[in-house]
Amino acid sequence: MSKTIETIVLHRARALLGSEQHWTLGAWARDEHGRPCDPLSSHASRWCAWGALQKCAYDLVGSKQLARRIANSISKHLVPTPGGLPFVNERGGYALVQTVLETGGPPVDAGATWPFIDFHTRDGFGVFARENQLRRLELEQSQGIAATELPNSCGTGRGYKPEADGSVPGWS
């Protein structure tokens, strides 16, 4: 990424999300009561990674449409894989969001599944399922968000419950 407005927006978004208290998932942004809101709302107090990019871009350019284009451009550069930055935010958690924002894009030697492990393998999916369930429980407790408000990995609204050993029922 060159030294442009995109670089400024990225640095400001990283600063905005410098504390986990200002980060969220399951919505572009949330107000102080945990309710979803527009990332440009004056009531927003927590943002997902993309919402933070849009807010910081809007603060610089003053145009919603241009702010969205800038946020999309940065997002595609940061995580140029299907699902992109929103998927990293929803499934990777705060620590991975911070890593992606700090690196400014994938490493030169990044594999096709960067920044995630290859969950197409049995072991990789087991790790993914355990980490996903833990993040969902931690978020529910820390932000007071009901699990039904959070998207699940298949988008059906019906989650799955891993076994105590982290295996997923029906996978053998």
How confident is the model over 41-60, as pLDDT tens digits?
A: 999 999 999 999 999 999 99
Query: Of 140, 138, 119, 130, which is closest to residue 161 (Cα–Cα)?
Result: 130
Three-class DSSP category at 100: helix
Q: Which pLDDT band, with edges at 50, 70 and 90, does 108 fall under?
A: low
Cα of 66 vs its chain's centroid, Å: 21
Q: Which pLDDT band, with edges at 50, 70 and 90, does 120 fall under?
A: low
* Assigned token pair, 114: 């960067």
Rounded to a whole number of angstroms, the CA Rg of the chain reads 17
Q: Once rounded to an integer, what is the mean pLDDT over residues 122-142? A: 74
What are the Cα distances from residue 5, in Å, to 10, 53, 61, 141?
A: 9, 11, 9, 37
Map 4-25 to HEC letters.
Answer: CHHHHHHHHHHHHCCCHHHECC
Q: What pLDDT score does 97 carry?
A: 92
Q: What pLDDT score does 138 carry?
A: 80
Q: What pLDDT score does 82 carry?
A: 76
What whole-number distance in Å separates Cα of residue 20 and Cα of residue 34?
A: 14
Residues 67, 61 contacting (CB under 8 angstroms):
yes
- pTM equals 0.67
* Assigned token pair, 100: 């992606």
Q: What is the number of residues in the chain?
A: 172
